[in-house]
Amino acid sequence: MKGKILGILTVLLVLCTSLAIATSDPWWNVRTSQFLNFDNIMNLLSRIALYGILGIGVAFVIITSGIDLAIGSMVCLCGVLLSILLKVDYQPENPVNVTQVIASEQTIYLEGKGPLFPPGSTLRYTGGVGSGLVLTVDAVTENGAIRVREALTRNEKSGRIVKATPIQNFNADSLDVRLPPDFTASVNDQLQIFKPDGAVTVQKITSITRTATETTARLAKDPGEKYHADSFAVLLQRSQRCSIPVAVITVLLIATALGLTHGLLITRLRLQPFVVTLCGLLIYRGVSRWLTNDNPAGFGELQQIMGPVASGRIGLLYRGETLVFGIPIPFFLLLGLAFLATIFLTRTIWGRYLLALGRNEEAARFSGINTSRIIILAYVICTLMAAIGGMLFALEFSSISPSSFGNSFELYAIAAAVLGGCSLRGGEGSIPGVVIGTAVMQVLNNLITLLRIPQSLEYTIIGAVILTGVLGDELVRRAAAKRRLKQSAS
């Protein structure tokens, strides 16, 4: 195993050195190298980190002599789920549906009952043709309908009414909007500001001050001159499906459940890992597309808060105020996960059991090891890693397309694991090897870009290099065996 890691490490170093030289002009001046360019290295490290996390996961499954083809779809599903769980919405407070508008009587019938809108209050009517109308309540009829002062143009059977508040004063310098004291806005809500002529704008509230006589909301931006006077406001309350920790934990739980399902199907029902995870590949992809209606998914305003986890950097080198070089945060995550995985594999009984059953499941079972449980654990670890990777990838990409996001990531992960010394026969593998294997894959990818090799050849080159690597490993192994033979003969 050590020899294998050393071998792949040598390959990585040779690749990096040659690439550094090949992209320098003149070749000996590495300061001109496009490869060693700080931005390039930062990108590379970030990609290694994300793909490496997937590789570590699949290594566990490969050690059981299984395979997980669903990783790419799992990445997509987890990205999509995170986006859905974190969906942010702005809705007006207490909207009421309109059941009927009778223009001639200037009356609007509402769903439900009660004196929701006392006479004198202003309303905003949306939906139907009367979109954006500002209305003032004249009276409430016995049957709960409201009569308005303004003329209505036509009869309607749809639409929605929300409470509108006249803006008493707008301070263009401080961006403060003065509102009545009962205006229940809070920070991060939005203010929809509109004019009776239908013009409308939406602004975010950054702070709120309340006194006995008024509520002052400070806006993030100036809505523009024309809204400074004679305008109305509707409060749009912010709602987020889940808080960030709840969303992340939910995604991880769903991934655990799916990994558990894979494991149970493979151990209890004795289905082949290839088949089970191939079905996973298809199912999760389909579910992702269905959940999003095939529309791109993103994180909206949360991207700013969460994005740095995936694309942030711990600065090491600054020029003035701007960051010149930093280690991507996911890289630290990778190191942490790789460390934990190494401890698990080499220093815990479960790691030992995993290696034993990968080599000979029957002997492990006959030694009293609950092999099914360990195999299930491996699949759970793999899907969990895919989920972590998936969320990071989604944040890194910021907008993901459910039909292509994560496509063939499982192959990158498997290839990295194999390059890193995992045997598909099982029982063999090391986490540092997988990380280095991932690095080799990503450097290759980088090489194709930097040397302006047609992108269409990407898979061919990666395939050829993996084949060469595996071949080289085999040749070295044979040469070593021959050498030992000669030594023992003499």
Partner 1 sequence: MSTTSQTPPRLEVRDIVKSFPGVKALKGVSLKVLPGEVLSVVGENGAGKSTLMKILAGVQAQDSGAVLVNGQSRNFRSVSDAMESGIALIHQELNLADNLEIGANIFLGREPRRFGIIHEAEIRRRAADLLQRIGLNLAPDTLVRDLTVGQQQMVEIAKALSINAQVLIMDEPTSSLSAGESVRLFEVIRDLRNQGVSIVYISHRLAEVQDLSDRVTVLRDGENAGNLVRGEVTHSSLVRLMVGRDISRVFSRKSYPAGEIAIEARDLVTSTWPRHKLSFSVRSGEIVGIAGLVGAGRTEMLRTLFGVDEPVSGSITVAGKVVPLRSPQDAIAAGIALVPEDRKQQGVVLDMTIRENIGLASVHRHSQAGLLNFTVEKSQSAEMCRQLRVKSPDDTYRVGNLSGGNQQKVVLGKWLSLKPKVLLLDEPTRGIDVGAKQEIYQLMDQLASQGIAVLFVSSEMEEIIGMSDRVLVMHEGRITGELPASQLSEEAIMNLATGHQS
Name every residue whose Cβ is closer than 8 Å to that of residue 58 and which is 6 or more positions away in sequence.
67, 68, 71, 382, 385, 410, 413, 414, 417
Closer to partner 1 by CB, 456 or 487: give it: 487
* Smallest separation, CB 303 to partner 1 (Å): 38
Distance of alpha carbon 100 from alpha carbon 24, whole angstroms: 74
Cβ distance to partner 1 smaller for residue 189 or 428:
428
The backbone torsions φ and ψ at residue 426, rounded to the nearest 5 degrees and listed phi first, read: 100, 165
Q: Which is nearer to partner 1, 218 or 359 (CB)?
A: 359
Cα–Cα distance for residue pair 75/386, rounded to 1 Å: 6
Shortest spacing between CB 366 and partner 1, in angstroms: 5
Fill in the amino acid letter for 226: K
CB of 489 to partner 1, least distance (A): 5
CB of residue 290 to partner 1, shortest distance in Å: 40
Nearer to partner 1, 364 or 435 (CB): 364
Question: How far apart are CB 426 and partner 1 at their closest, in Å?
Answer: 10
Distance of CA 450 to the CA centre of its chain: 28
Structure tokens at 297: 């998914």
CA distance 92 to 109: 20
Comparing CB distances to partner 1, the nearer of 220 and 481 is: 481
CB of 153 or CB of 360, closer to partner 1: 360
Within 10 Å of residue 465's Cβ, how many Cβ atoms?
Answer: 18
245 within 8 A of 85, measured Cβ to Cβ: no
The 3-state secondary structure of 352-410 reads: HHHHHHHHCHHHHHHCCCCHHHHHHHHHHHHHHHHHHHHHHHHHHHCEECCCCCCCCHH
Least distance from partner 1 to the Cβ atom of residue 466, Å: 23
Taking the least distance from each CB to partner 1, the nearer of 154 and 478 is 478
Residue 354 or 414 with smaller CB distance to partner 1:
354
User: C-beta of 353: minimal distance to partner 1 in Å?
Assistant: 8
Q: Are strands 88-92 and 190-194 parallel, antiparallel or unpaired?
A: unpaired
CB of 272 to partner 1, least distance (A): 19
The sign of the torsion formed by the CA atoms of 141, 143, 144, 145 equals negative
Q: By C-beta, is 107 or 267 nearer to partner 1?
A: 267
Tokens, residue 148: 């308005």
Contact residues for partner 1, defined by CB under 8 A: 347-352, 355-356, 359-360, 362-370, 427-428, 481, 484-485, 488-489
Of 279, 247, 206, 274, the closest CA to residue 394 belongs to 247
Reduced to 3 states (helix: H, G, I; strand: E, B; else coil), residue 435 is: helix
- β-strand 215-219 against 146-148: which pairing, if any? unpaired
Give yes or no for a contact between 334 and 48, defined as CB atoms under 8 angstroms apart: yes
Nearer to partner 1, 293 or 488 (CB): 488
Which of residues 330 and 429 has its CB atom nearest to partner 1 in the complex?
429
Dihedral over Cα of 391, 392, 396, 402: its sign: negative
**Are 382 and 60 a contacting pair, CB within 8 Å?**
yes
CB of 484 to partner 1, least distance (A): 4
Least separation in angstroms between residue 7's CB and partner 1 is: 19
**CA–CA distance, 120 with 135 (Å, rounded to integer):** 10
Least spacing, CB of residue 370 vs partner 1, in Å = 6
User: Closer to partner 1 at the Cβ: 319 or 347?
Assistant: 347
Query: With the C-alpha atoms ordered 10, 11, 14, 20, is the resulting torsion angle positive or negative?
Result: negative
Q: Work out how close the CB of 67 gets to partner 1 at its nearest, in angstroms, rounded to a whole number.
A: 20
